[in-house]
Amino acid sequence: MTLAVYLDSNDYSRFAELHKQTDAIRETFYALTNWVGEGRIEVRYSSVNILEAAPLTEDVIPLALGRLNAIYRLCGRKCLIDVTRLLKAEATQAASVQVLSDTGDWHPAVHDLGYP
C-alpha cells in the first residue's frame, strides 16, 4: 500500500521558490518528487491548499504560481474531496465515503451545494 502524504500550505510556500531555500528544503522537495515517481508515496492536496495558494495582490502572483506548480508537481490530480461532501457523508453516517480523489475533484459539485 502506498503511503498518502498531506503537506501544509507552508510547505508549498517553501517549495515555490526553491532557489531561495536552504539545501535541506530543496533536498526534501526532490526526495518527495522522487518518492512520488517511484510510487512509494502519493501526495494529496486539498481545497485549503488551493485557496491559501491564491494571490491576494498582484505583486505576489509569481509566488502563487510557484505554490500551485509545487502542488501540481507533487500531487498531479490526487487530492482530498471537498469539505462539503465529507461533512455530508459524516452527517448521514455514510460508512463508505471515498475521501481521496484521483481526478482532481477538490471542489464541491454544484448539485452538492443545493443548486438545481
116 or 51, higher pLDDT:
51
Query: What is the helix (H) or strand (E) element at residue 23, kind and residue range?
Result: helix 23-38
CA–CA distance, 21 with 55 (Å, rounded to integer): 20
pLDDT at 114: 58
For residue 26, what pLDDT band results from cuts at 50, 70 and 90? very high
- Read off the pLDDT of residues 38-68 as tens digits, 9 standing for 90 and up: 999 999 999 999 999 999 999 999 999 999 9
- Taking 90 as the threshold, does the pLDDT of residue 104 lie above it? no
Q: Which three cell numbers stand for residue 68?
A: 500551485
Name the residue among 30, 33, 52, 49 with its Cα closest to residue 41.
Answer: 33
**CA-based torsion, 89, 91, 94, 96: positive or negative:** positive
